[in-house]
Amino acid sequence: MAGWLLRRLGQIVPTLVILSFMVFGLQQLMPGDPAIILAGEERGDPVVLQQIREELRLDRPIWDQYLFWIGNVLQGDFGWSWRIRMPVSDLILEKLPVTAQLATMAFLIGVVIGVPAGILSATRRDTPTDWAANGVALFGISMPNFWLGIMMILLFSVELGWLPPSGYVPLWEDPVQSLATTIMPAFVLGTGVASVLMRHTRAAMLTALSQDYVRTARAKGLAEKVVVWKHALRNALIPVVTLGTIEFGRLLAGAVLTEQIFTIPGFGKLVVDAVFNRDYPVVQGVVLATALIFVLLSLVADLLYMAINPRLRQA
């Protein structure tokens, strides 16, 4: 177990290094000059532009800029935001809890709805229940988040006045108001997750229910609930866990449109503003943080595999 864990951790380093090469290199291909944007009204003054380029090391070769940046990153310094003039690490720590709260709520909604619906659909295959579940899932996958968000604002905020239409209140300041401001965007994101989880859970359960060990369990006279929940579900959960970690990582990466519609100050809004303003250090810091989140979630998924199926611990 310890050797496996060390090997998995050893794979994280080259993954992040390769990603840092790609992020830094591809970002240099973006059109526009950051110095001109940062100069503002003095963008026509060549002295000011040269001073900005020297201050930000934009006049250095790309490899020199990269080595300087990655050296600081290894020391925990992601640099300073060129536009906001504050440390990128502080921005990440400020926005991450917002997105983490929204992502967690959306993921829980998706799991609570999607997994049971997939199990029910698989155990009642080719019945009206199965058709209805598949129809709702298809609708949830096809429906754009921005449209559902606008419709929910019109209904629950404008017409009924039950929930605030936008904004965000930190959970530690006012839990009730925080839930009120995040429940709609969480539901918008959660419906898509629920639809995907439902379809994959149904497919995995149908595969598990057709296996020999399930037929053997039924032949022994075990109750159908025991066959489904104890035998079939345990093996069917492995691909669902894989998909679930990917979906949770995607939510943590920032739901750009949903955060924009509901004015949620999370990762999505941060990276969009940084791209439009050529704020390279913020983009690089957010992308690396997101990549690290995905890698760690992959590690968590492997640990969950072993918890679900003990035979994998000996692999």
88-123 vs 267-276: helix crossing angle, rounded to 10:
130
pLDDT band at 32 (very low <50, low <70, confident <90, very high): low
pLDDT at 288 over 60: yes
pLDDT band at 312 (very low <50, low <70, confident <90, very high): low
- Could you tell me the two tokens for 275? 């791209």
- Could you tell me the two tokens for 253? 């990466």
Q: Across residues 169-179, what is the average pLDDT?
A: 83
The predicted structure's pLDDT at residue 28: 67
In terms of Cα–Cα distance, which of 295, 230, 287, 223 is closest to 27?
287
Residue 226 vs residue 115, higher pLDDT: 115
* Torsions phi, psi for 84 (to 5 deg): -90, -20
pTM for the whole structure:
0.79
Count Cβ atoms within 10 A of the Cβ of residue 208 and give its class: 0-12 exposed, 13-18 middle, 19 or more buried.
Answer: buried
The domain segmentation of the chain, as residue ranges, is 2-74, 90-314
175-209 vs 128-142: helix crossing angle, rounded to 10:
130
* Torsions phi, psi for 242 (to 5 deg): -60, -50
Sign for the pseudo-dihedral over CA of 48, 24, 248, 6: negative
In terms of Cα–Cα distance, which of 297, 281, 314, 259 is closest to 38?
281
pLDDT band at 315 (very low <50, low <70, confident <90, very high): low
Count the neighbouring beta carbons within 10 Å of the beta carbon of residue 209: 20
Give the CATH number of domain 90-314; options: 1.10.3720.10, 3.30.1330.10, 1.20.120.1730, 3.30.930.10. Answer: 1.10.3720.10
The per-residue pLDDT for range 144-171, each reduced to its tens digit, is 877 888 888 888 888 888 888 887 888 8
Average pLDDT value over all residues in the chain: 79
Query: In a 3-state reduction of DSSP, which class is residue 76?
Result: coil
Q: Over pLDDT 90: what percentage of the chain?
A: 1
Specify the amino acid at residue 133: A
- Measured between alpha carbons, how far is 183 from 57 in angstroms, rounded to an integer? 44
- Measured between alpha carbons, how far is 149 from 130 in angstroms, rounded to an integer? 27
